[in-house]
């Protein structure tokens, strides 16, 4: 059986799938919105960066991986369902069929849905390589909106300011948070994969971050110096571009506490609902990040702490959901932080993180600025 792959960034050498990280330097959209250099590989049309693009001509090269993650997760298959070692080859009939399907989907949307991504691979496939041929005999449960329509309205929702204010207080208060200028986290994967290999996360305000995982077989560095994000792995097994999901994940990694950019940098921020998240009552705050992801933050009604974060990444076919759960909050130097962070996404896409637990935290250590400028080969 072809299995989904969860963490492509930890593949052993010789794995069939290339790991898609990049040495290219990129300006995050919020840092230099108008000045993104057009010559960057990720901004070029996919057909000029990749070898055999026919159906997706004109798409940004940096968006290809998101599109592929969307396709793979819609069918619940891994890349090698359609691809052989050389991804440009048209050897598998599934790839040819998929290309026809891409054209079909675009045509349906063009002709019947005013060019919007209304119909996509998931609409029919719903997580199966072969879509279901028969309608189910048992009728599906009524839609949530219908069920909820008759219910009396609950108590009024608090304001954004109230929810975020309580969050900051629960973390230790603004003053305590401001005192943390830098942080070094030693983390390990929760699933025990990669036999105990450690990922170090260095953060330094504002917006600087480095994640590094160094091991004899494979090392990976991703980071941002506050202006541009970069990524590189020791195999240099990438297409020479920083994919959009990874770029966004780096911006999130740079947050000194989860959601720290919500109030100052997100647009359309509102308290959208009171909902249960894993049996806990939460207030859901939604907003759009400067990089264009739609996000929901779940704050515990009881403690005020952030319990979950749902992120919708856009692909050429539609939205792709990435989610994080935060657990085991502990206090370090007057501020609380989650010691367990669980990431999930359908099929596990690049740029999404693996679930980890924190082994050790150091705060306000002096981290040299050069560390955030690029991979060790370039900056040290």
What does the binding site for ligand HEC look like in residue numbers (CB under 6 A)? 50-56, 64, 68-69, 71-72, 75, 77, 79, 81-83, 87-88, 94-95, 97-99, 101-102, 105, 119-121, 123-125, 129-131
CB of 40: closest distance to ligand HEC in angstroms?
A: 17
SS3 category, 73: helix
Per-residue burial over 87-120, b = 16 or more CB atoms within 10 Å of its CB, e = otherwise: beeeeeebbeebbebbeebbeebeeeeeeebebb
DSSP symbol at 115? T
Q: Which is nearer to ligand HEC, 86 or 178 (CB)?
A: 86
- Nearest residue (CB) to ligand HEC, 236 versus 380: 236
Sign of torsion, CA 253 259 263 268? positive
Select 68 or 311, whichever has its Cβ closest to ligand HEC: 68
Toward ligand HEC, which CB reaches closer, 47 or 280?
Answer: 47
What's the closest the beta carbon of residue 86 comes to ligand HEC, in angstroms?
8
In this complex, which beta carbon is closest to ligand HEC, that of residue 249 or of residue 256?
Answer: 249
Q: Provide, rounded to whole angstroms, the least separation between the CB of residue 91 and ligand HEC.
A: 12
Residues facing residue 204 across a β-bridge: 182, 208
What minimum distance in Å lies between the beta carbon of 2 and ligand HEC?
Answer: 9
Nearest approach, Cβ of residue 135 and ligand HEC (Å): 13
| Residue 375: exposure state from Cβ atoms within 10 A (0-12, 13-18, ≥19) | buried
Q: Which position has the token pair 């692909």?
A: 315
φ, ψ of residue 151 in degrees (nearest 5): -70, 145
CB of 274 to ligand HEC, least distance (A): 35
CB of 187 to ligand HEC, least distance (A): 25
Q: Are 237 and 19 in contact (CB under 8 A)?
A: yes
In the structure encoding, which two tokens stand for residue 77, read together?
Answer: 């298959």
* Contact assessment for residue 336 and residue 182, using Cβ atoms and an 8 Å cutoff: no
- In the complex with ligand HEC, the residue whose CB is nearer, 219 or 237, is 237
Burial class (CB in 10 A: 0-12, 13-18, 19+), 256: buried
* Identity of the residue, 54 or 112, whose beta carbon is nearer to ligand HEC in the bound complex: 54
CA-to-CA distance for 311 and 254, rounded, in angstroms?
16
Cβ distance to ligand HEC smaller for residue 223 or 348: 348
Q: What single-letter DSSP state applies at residue 371?
A: G
Residue 320 CB, nearest distance to ligand HEC (Å)?
A: 11
**Which residues, 6 or more positions from 108, have their beta carbon under 8 angstroms from its beta carbon?**
119
Least distance (Å) between residue 243 CB and ligand HEC: 10
Residue 299 or 320: which CB sits closer to ligand HEC?
320
Q: What does the alpha-carbon distance between residue 256 and residue 379 come to, in Å, rounded to a whole number?
A: 23
Largest CA distance in the chain: 64
């Amino acid at each position: 059986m072809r299995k989904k792959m969860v963490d492509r960034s930890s593949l052993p050498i010789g794995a069939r799938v290339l790991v898609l990280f990049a040495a290219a330097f990129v300006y995050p959209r919020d840092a230099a919105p108008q000045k993104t250099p057009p010559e960057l590989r990720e901004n070029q049309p996919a057909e000029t960066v990749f070898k055999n693009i026919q159906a997706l001509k004109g798409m940004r090269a940096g968006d290809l991986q998101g599109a592929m993650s969307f396709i793979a997760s819609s069918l619940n298959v891994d890349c090698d369902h359609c691809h052989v070692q050389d991804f440009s080859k048209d050897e598998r009939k599934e790839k040819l069929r998929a290309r026809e399907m891409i054209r079909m989907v675009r045509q349906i949307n063009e002709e019947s849905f005013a060019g919007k991504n209304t119909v996509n691979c998931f609409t029919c496939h719903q997580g199966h390589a072969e879509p279901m041929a028969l309608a189910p005999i048992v009728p599906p449960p009524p839609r949530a909106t219908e069920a909820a329509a008759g219910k009396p309205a609950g108590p009024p929702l608090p304001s954004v300011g109230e929810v975020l204010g309580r969050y900051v207080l629960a973390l230790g208060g603004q003053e305590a948070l401001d005192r943390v200028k830098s942080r070094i986290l030693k983390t390990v994967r929760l699933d025990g994969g990669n036999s105990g290999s450690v990922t170090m996360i260095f953060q330094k305000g504002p917006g600087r971050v480095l994640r590094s995982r160094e091991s004899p077989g494979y090392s990976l560095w991703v980071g941002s110096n506050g202006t541009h994000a970069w990524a590189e792995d020791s195999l240099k097994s990438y297409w020479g571009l920083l994919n959009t999901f990874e770029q966004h994940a780096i911006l999130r990694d740079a947050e000194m506490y989860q959601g720290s950019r919500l109030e100052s940098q997100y647009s359309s921020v509102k308290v959208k609902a009171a909902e249960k998240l894993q049996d806990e009552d939460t207030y859901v705050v939604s907003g759009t990040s400067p990089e264009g992801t739609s996000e929901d933050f779940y704050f515990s009604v009881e403690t005020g702490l952030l319990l979950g974060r749902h992120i919708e990444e856009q692909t050429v076919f539609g939205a792709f959901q990435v989610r994080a759960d935060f657990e085991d909050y502990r206090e370090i130097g007057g501020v609380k932080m989650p010691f367990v962070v669980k990431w999930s996404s359908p099929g596990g896409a690049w740029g999404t993180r693996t679930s980890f637990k924190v082994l050790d935290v150091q705060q306000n250590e002096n981290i040299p600025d050069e560390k955030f400028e690029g991979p060790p080969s370039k900056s040290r």
